[in-house]
Amino acid sequence: MNAPYIPGAGLWAGLNRRWARFASRVPMRVHTDHAIVSFSFDDFPKSAAIAGAAALEKRGWRGTYYASAGYAGGITHHGTMFDAGDLQRLTSKGHEIGCHTYSHLDAAAVPTSELLADVARNARALEAMGLETELESFAFAYGEATPAAKQALLEHFSNLRGVRARINRGATDRGLLQSVPLDGGEAGIARAVDAAHSLVGHPGWLIYYGHDVQDTPTQWGCTPDQLEQVCDAVEASGARVMTVAEALQTLDADA
């Protein structure tokens, strides 16, 4: 089983994260009178492909699954990970597969050239597993980015997602989209529900990100019931639910 990696902490790491948010920005405007919500799952565990997808599909919704192919067919701290059958089933039902690097690299801890090589390896591995759709969306593992990584990756993807817990409203950066976690126990899920409620009076693009969806989740996951709570709140808000790529296309068309 792969042990969880913890990104660097401390003053220097914090300054690097702030610099990545403000440097090499590719501005986009999120001005919409109708809220948009995107559900996404990182790495991704088989539980997200099964229980997570079921929660979305019963409402007619689809999500974005950021795949790290190096985990495929294995077991990590999130449990059993996705396999080729999950890729086929998800894409056949209209879910989006995004890129999360092959080795789940911390982009702030490796040279940009190494990051790009790992991204290319991920694309090749997913294609070898039978993925036929284009990889349009990318999520930084651990939310760790650098200005150079943002610039380089935007030559290959239409959007890059981070993990800063905010809703995308007004001016935002397509090179580091903000997202709200589906974790943290009951308190964390309450914050995710509140984010959906806030869309009623203040529309924006709310991207959720999660990991495992199981009865006994990791600290980075949630239970099926907790995911249902968030889905109920999104449904009550009247927001349109789209994959990350679909939402971006809609916002670009409305700009």
Interatomic CA distance for residues 31 and 154, integer angstroms: 22
Predicted pLDDT of residue 11 = 46
Within a domain: residue 58? yes
Within a domain: residue 224? yes
Could you tell me the CATH number of the domain that includes residue 36? Answer: 3.20.20.370
Residue 93 pLDDT > 60, yes or no? Answer: yes
Within a domain: residue 14? no
Predicted pLDDT of residue 33 = 87
Residue 190 binned pLDDT confidence (cut-offs 50, 70, 90): very high
Q: Which helix (H) or strand (E) holds 13?
A: helix 11-22
Residue 1 pLDDT > 70, yes or no? Answer: no
Residue 21 pLDDT > 90, yes or no? Answer: no
Within a domain: residue 62? yes
Interatomic CA distance for residues 83 and 88, integer angstroms: 9
Interatomic CA distance for residues 136 and 159, integer angstroms: 7
How many independent structural domains does the chain possess?
A: 1
Which two tokens mark 200?
A: 């009623």
Within a domain: residue 232? yes
The residue segments making up the domain with residue 85 are 30-254
